[in-house]
Every structure is written in C-alpha cells, then in structure tokens.
C-alpha cells in the first residue's frame, strides 16, 4: 500500500487581489502541480464550505485560505507565500520577479480601487 502525499488545498476568491498575489507566487515557485486550487465566487457552495471549515477551526474567514496540513487551515496571503517560499527554498522578496512586479504595480491600484468602492458603499469582491 502506498501513502498518497498530502496536497494542500488553496481557496481563491476569483475577484480577490490577495488571492491573485498568492497564485502568482505559487505559480512562480512552480507549485502549481503540488497544490489543489478551489476557485470560488461570493455566495457559492465552495465559499460556504470554506467559511464553515475556517469557523470550525477558530479562524476568521478571510481569502485566500489554505488547508496547509490535514485539518489545519491558514489565511493571510503573505504568510502563505512565506510558508511555501520557505518550503521550496526561495526568498519571496528577491527571488520572485513576477510577484514583485504585481506587488509594486497593479496590486496597490487594486487596493485603492477596493477602498474607493467600499467608501461608495459597494462590496468590491
């Protein structure tokens, strides 16, 4: 009998700039085949399932989120990037040019746009 290695599950809200940041980093770290992505939209069954899992684990729901070990969940995009960067032996500050390009370019614009939409009373995600 062979043990199937654990494959982290990563939940990504389609319209979430933090989720895109994590996916860019994982892709640049060539992690795509080593994790399972669950891409969801606000209000769908995958979001309800994730919220239940996080709440059960005592974690305030926030996206992105990951099952980092069987039954163990984590959120916070930068923490997740740091975790997997450490696993593959790269420094996310210096070794991931695409991540840096996103972080220094589009990402802060997205955050400005999100804030503007919130100030206008809309749900940006």
Ligand X SMILES: N[C@@H](CCC(=O)N[C@@H](CS)C(=O)NCC(=O)O)C(=O)O
Binding site for ligand X (CB under 6 A): 13, 16, 18, 61-64, 75-78, 125
Residue 15: CB minimum distance to ligand X, A? 7
| Residues facing 67 on adjacent strands | 9, 73
- DSSP line for 48-65: HHHHHHHHHTT----SSE
Instruction: List phi, psi (to 5°) of 42.
Output: -55, 130
3 or 104: CB nearest ligand X: 104
In degrees, rounded to 5, the angle at the alpha carbon of residue 87 between the alpha carbons of residues 82 and 111 is: 25
User: Tokens for 76?
Assistant: 């916070």
Residue 30: CB minimum distance to ligand X, A? 22
15 or 31: CB nearest ligand X: 15
Contact present, 17 and 98 (Cβ < 8 Å): no
18 or 102: CB nearest ligand X: 18
68 or 77: CB nearest ligand X: 77
Residue 94: CB minimum distance to ligand X, A? 20
Residue 88: CB minimum distance to ligand X, A? 20
């Amino acid at each position: 009998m062979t043990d199937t290695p654990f494959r982290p599950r990563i939940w990504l809200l389609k319209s979430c700039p933090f989720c895109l940041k994590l996916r860019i980093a994982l892709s640049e770290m060539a992690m795509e085949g080593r994790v399972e992505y669950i891409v969801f939209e606000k209000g769908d069954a995958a979001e309800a399932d994730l919220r239940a899992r996080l709440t059960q684990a005592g974690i305030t729901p926030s996206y992105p989120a990951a099952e980092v070990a069987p039954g163990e969940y984590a959120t916070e995009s930068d923490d997740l990037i740091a975790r997997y960067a450490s696993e593959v032996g790269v420094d996310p500050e210096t070794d991931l040019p695409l991540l840096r390009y996103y972080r220094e370019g589009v990402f802060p614009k997205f955050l400005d746009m999100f804030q503007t939409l919130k100030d206008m009373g809309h749900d940006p995600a």
